[in-house]
Structure 1
Amino acid sequence: MKSLYAFCLLFVLAFLPATSRPIDGELVIRLQEDEKLTGTFSGDIDQQTSVHLLFLKNKKDDHYIVKPFFIDAHRNITALETSVFKEEPSVVSYHLKDDMLTLLLQQGKRKEQNLEILEFNTLNGDVQQFTVANFKEPYLLLRTKEKTFLLNKEDDQVEVVTILGAGEPQKTTLNLTNVSKETIEKLFKEKPETINTEEFVEHGSILPSKLYYSGDKLVFDYKSEEEYFILTVDPASGDIMFLVQSLKILKRLRK
C-alpha cells in the first residue's frame, strides 16, 4: 500500500533536482512534448523505503527512458539520474545497501537480451551502469534487501549469480558431490518458492521446496509428510551443509 500511495502522490516531476525533498503535498511530473508515458513501477525495498519508476518513450527517436525516484525512511523523495535504452526495458529486481540503490533491468530482443545493472547514489542521484550481455531468464530469482541472487539450473548443475552493484556479478557453481541424486530430484521436482524474509507473509508456502536467505547463507528447505531437510549454501564458495531429519522418527520420539 505504501508504494501505491507514494506513487499516486508522485504522479506528474521531470524537473525535480537530484537532491532529496520532503513529500509535503502533490508532486507534479511534467513530460516533454516528445515524451510518452508507457508504464510505471513501484516497489517496497523494506517497510520504510521504496523505489518508483516512470517508463517513457521518445516519440522522435523511439528510444526508451527510465526516470527513477527514491523515497527514504523520512519520506524524502530524490529524483535519480535518468537512463536511456534502445529497447524497451523491464524490471528484474532491485535492492538497497547503505545509500546505494541497485536496479536490474532487462532489455533487448528475446534471444539477444541484456541485463542492465544500474547503481544509484541516493544522496546525489548519480548512477553507474554495467551491462551483462546474452542474459537468460534465471531458473530462480531471490531478492534480499541488500543483494539479488540469480540461480541458473541445467540438469544437476546449479549456478548462483550474486549481484551487489554495478560491476561483474559473482558466479559460483554449487558443490553437490556429497548430496544424493535422490535428494536433488526431490528438492527440484517442483521449482522452489523464493521467500523474501523482509516481507511479511501471512500464510506460509504450500510448496514442499522453498529458498530463502538467512545468516549470509542461501537456504533450500524441503518438507514432505515423511521427511524434512535443508541445504545451506555459501553463495561465495558454493559449499553446502546438508541436514536431514525423518519426520517419522521425530513423531515416534514425541509419543
Structure 2
Amino acid sequence: MLKNTVLVVLIFISTNIFANEIITQSIKLDKHYKVENTFSGDLFDNTSFHLIFTKNKKTKTKETLGFLYDGNSVKKLESFSHFNNLGITSFHTTESHLIVLFSYEQYSKRYLKKIVYDLNNKNISENTTISNTGLEGSFRTKDRSVLIYKIKDTLQTKSFNGIDKEAVSKYIYFNKKDPVKKFFKGSIINTIKTDEFVTNGSTSELKAYLDNNKIIFTKDDSNKNQCSVLTISLNNNKIIPSKILTFENNNGDKRYKKSISYYNNNHLYFLSLDKKSGAIKIFNVSQNKQLNTISLNSKLNSKILKNAHFKGMVDFLKNAGKNKFHPTITVNKTNSNNVRIRVDYVDINYGYYNDWWWHHQQFMRWQNQFHMQQKK
C-alpha cells in the first residue's frame, strides 16, 4: 500500500537529556490521508506527543491522528473523526493522561472539544462540547489549563484540573461604571507564562499572570507612568475581584516617556524610562507597599550581567527611549532561589507569545520547510 510520509521534528528544551537537540523521525500515513496541519508538545522529560490533522478521503471526514515519541520509538494513539477544522487552545497532563482542549467554530459560534488520551491503553474519551465564545487568553501549567473569557457584561474563567470537569467562575458587571468593566475596556488580555524562563516580556498594556489559585491582571499607562493591578481568586464559582491598586513610577515633576511592568511572586517590577534616565520600582502587591527603587544610570554598569551588545547604561537608555523600540522587563528565578531582573528593548512590531505556542509555530515552520525540500 502506498504511504504518505510526514516528518516529525521533536524539540526537547533545557530540562532533559535531549537539550538543544533536534531528532527526526518519520511517521507513515495511508495514502487516503491528506495532512492539513500538525501540532507538537512536550509531555514529560523525554516524551512528546504529536497530533496530525488530516482529511480522510475515504470517509470524507476530518481525522486527528495522535502519536507518542519517547526518544526511541513512536507509538500510535487512538484517532477521532470530526467535521470542523480544529485548533489547539491548551493542553495539560496527569501521570497517565494527556488532556487536549481543541477549539472549533460552527454556525458563527465557538466551541471547545475536550479529548482525554489515556497514555497507558492509548484510548481516548471525548467530553461534552463546551462553549468557547469570548475567549481572551489561556494559561497552561503541567497539570491544568485556565481560560479567561469576556462575554458581554461578564468576566469568566474556566479551570480544567487534570481530567476533572471544568470549574467555572463568573463576575457580572453591576453597571457601565463598574470599575472592573472599565479596567478591561478597550484592551486585549495577554497571558504571561512565568513557570519557565522568559527572555523578553510582553509589551501589551494589559497582562495576566497565573499565581497558584489567583489571576493577577496588570494594566500599564505610559502617559501617567502608572500600573493598575486587579486580582481575582479561582477558589469558588463566583469571582470576587480585589480592590484595584495603582502603582506609580514618576521622575519628580517630569514624566518618563515609557513604562512597562512585570509581575512575579506577589511583586510588581515597574520599569519607566526615557532617553536619558530610568528607574525600576519594586512593590509588594498584597501589602500595597514599595520595597525598592533601582535607578538606571552609569553607576549600575559594574553590577550588570551584560552581553556583547551592551555598551553602557547611557547608550541603552538612548536606544530604549527611541520611538521604534519598546522597553521590556522580565523576572526569572535563579538556582539560588533569588530573582534575576532582565531589562531589554525590542522592535515596535515585536509580539510576545507563550512558549508552548511558539513551540507549535516552530514545528509548523520546520514541517513546511520539509515539504518545500521534498518538492525540489
TM-score (structure 1 length as normaliser): 0.74
Matches within 5 A, 1:159-238: 159-164=156-161, 168-174=165-171, 181-182=178-179, 184-224=181-221, 225-237=224-236, 238=239
Give the RMSD, CA atoms, in angstroms: 3.5
Residue 30 (structure 1) aligns with = 28
Deviations 1:36-73 (A, max 9, x none): 2222112346876543111121112211111122346x
Distance in 2 of aligned mates of 1:76 and 1:235: 40
Q: CA deviation at 1:184?
A: 4.0
Q: Is the 8 A contact 1:37 1:55 kept in 2?
A: yes
Tell me, yes or no, if structure 1 residue 69 matches structure 2 residue 70: no
Aligned residues: 233
8 Å CA contact 2:35–2:54 kept in 1: the answer is: yes
Give the drift of 1:168. Answer: 3.9
Task: Tell me, in whole angstroms, the C-alpha distance in 2 between the residues paired with 1:250 and 1:119.
Answer: 53
- Alignment-derived partner of residue 88 in structure 1: 85
Preserved CA contact (<8 Å) 2:47 2:68: yes
Matched position secondary structure for 1:151: strand
Q: Is the 8 A contact 2:10 2:48 kept in 1?
A: no
Distance 1:199 1:165, change over 3 A: same
Relative to structure 1, the CA distance from residue 220 to residue 41 in structure 2 (aligned partners, 3 Å threshold; closer, same or farther) is same
Measured in 2, the distance between the counterparts of 1:246 and 1:86 equals: 49
Contact 2:150 2:156 in 1 (8 A): yes
Letter in 1 for 2:55: K
Q: Cα distance 1:137–1:242, how it changes in 2: closer, same or farther (>3 A)?
A: closer
CA displacement at 1:210 relative to structure 2: 0.7
Shift of residue 197, structure 1, vs aligned partner: 2.0
Q: 2:69·2:75 contact (CA, 8 Å) conserved in 1?
A: yes
Q: Larger deviation: 45-54 or 154-163? A: 45-54
Q: 1:58 to 1:36 in 2, by over 3 A?
A: same
Aligned match of 1:241: 242
- The structure with the larger Rg is 2
- Opposite residue 183 of structure 2, the aligned amino acid is K
Query: Which consecutive residues of structure 1, in runs of 5 or more, have no partner in the other structure?
Result: 1-5, 11-24
In percent, how many aligned pairs have the same letter? 21
Secondary structure at the counterpart of residue 186 of structure 1 = helix
Which one of 144, 165, 177 corresponds to residue 147 of structure 1? 144
Gaps of 5+ in 2: 1-6, 12-22, 254-289, 296-376
Cα deviation, residue 160, structure 1: 0.9
Cα separation, 2, equivalents of 1:56 and 1:136: 25
CA separation of 1:230/1:48 partners in 2, compared to 1, >3 Å: closer, same or farther? Answer: farther
Matching residue of 1:117: 114
For 1:15, the equivalent position in structure 2 comes to none
| TM-score normalized with structure 2 length | 0.53
CA distance in 1, matches of 2:42, 2:10: 15
Equivalent residue, structure 2, for 1:8: 9
The answer (yes or no) to whether the contact 1:44–1:50 under 8 Å persists in 2 is yes
8 Å CA contact 2:92–2:145 kept in 1: the answer is yes
Kindly state the Cα deviation for residue 105 of structure 1 after the two structures are TM-superposed. Answer: 1.4
SS of residue matched to 2:27: coil
Distance in 1 between the 2:251 and 2:168 partners? 38
Aligned to 1:185, what secondary structure does the other structure show? helix
- 2:335 matched to which residue of 1? none
